[in-house]
Amino acid sequence: MTSRPARGGTNGQIAADIEARIVDGEFAPGGRLPSEATLATEYDATRGRVRTVLAALARRGVVVARPRVGWVAQARHRTQSFDRMQSFSQWADQHGRVVGGRVVGREDGPATAHEARVLGIGLGKEVHRFTRTRTLDGRLVMVERSVWAPWVGREVRALPDDVGSVTGALVRAGIEVVRGEHRIEAVAASSLDADLLGVRRSSPLLQVSRATATRAGRPVEYGVDRYLPHVIAFDVTAGEMAGAG
């Protein structure tokens, strides 16, 4: 459970903590929050202050008041669109979010059959892999695993562990990623996911698998991102139907 603000915390501190508890899943979206009296006790505040805080959160769409139910947590999805190629860092910057990341593991090794097919290289060709945790507005939101084509391996190996945007670093090196394919599915957290994201093993995660390439179609990366639930949603624009079904 998230720790409560110190006694006498400001309304802003209380609001930030309640929102953090929603993001962390302690208060599930669509579920009822503790009563105003219970929250007042937890935060050493009056019910009037708690009501003021909740009203401010309601104006931002974090919670909603429902008659005969009470205060209910809202799903606060941050939406990313797949109508054009955009990295996580680029999307966050566009929406005024503070994005962070840290590489927590690196290795070089032979490409698997799937990696070789996606990256257009020979089976067993050496590739560089890394695992990176990502934060949004200071909160851990996903774990990112990437396998890099040999021709970009030198540039990726040279990046510091706290690199903010790999895509940006590659652009500065003259490598522009402009194409991508994505697959979205629900998965259960592995033991390693659980350790990195601070959740229980087998907890539900949103997985996005992606293959990126240059404008000329040269494969750059095969990656798998696993997001905590209730953190982000994706918009996918469908084209015209090919024929009547």
Task: Write down the residue that tokens 């698998």 correspond to.
Answer: 209
User: Are 135 and 40 found together in one domain?
Assistant: no
Closest CA to 206 of 84, 80, 106: 80
Contacts of 32 (CB under 8 A, 6+ apart): 69, 70, 71, 72, 73
The answer to the question of residue 166 being in a domain is yes
Torsion sign across C-alpha atoms 184, 187, 190, 192:
positive
Whose tokens are 């990256």? That residue is 119
Residue 230 domain-assigned? yes
CATH code for the domain of 34: 1.10.10.10
Same domain, residue pair 94 and 153: yes
Residues 35 and 154 in one domain: no
> Given 47, 73, 99, which residue is the final one in a domain?
73
Instruction: Please check whether residue 90 is in contact with residue 171, taking contact to mean a CB–CB distance below 8 angstroms.
Output: no
Q: Contact at 8 Å (CB) between 141 and 231? A: yes
CATH number for the domain spanning 167: value is: 3.40.1410.10
E strand or H helix that includes residue 209: strand 204-214
Residues 98 and 68 in one domain: no
pLDDT (tens digit per residue) in 128-143: 999 999 988 778 889 9
User: Do 97 and 171 share a domain, yes or no?
Assistant: yes
Question: What confidence tens digit (pLDDT) does each residue in 156-190 have?
Answer: 999 999 998 898 899 899 998 877 788 889 999 99
Same domain, 144 and 229: yes
**Residue in the block written with tokens 């402009």:** 178
Which stretches in the chain have pLDDT values below 70?
1-8, 75-86, 91, 94-97, 230-245
- Tally of domains within the chain: 2
Residue 6 lies in a domain: no
pLDDT at site 148: 97
- The mean of the pLDDT values for the chain is 84
**pTM of the predicted model, to two decimals?**
0.65
- Contact criterion met (CB below 8 Å) for 182 and 210: yes
pLDDT of residue 20: 83
Q: Find the domain containing 31 and state its range.
A: 11-73
State the pLDDT at residue 132: 96
The whole-angstrom separation of Cα 167 and Cα 22 is 31
* Domain finish residue from 73, 103, 120: 73
82 plus 65 within the same structural domain: no
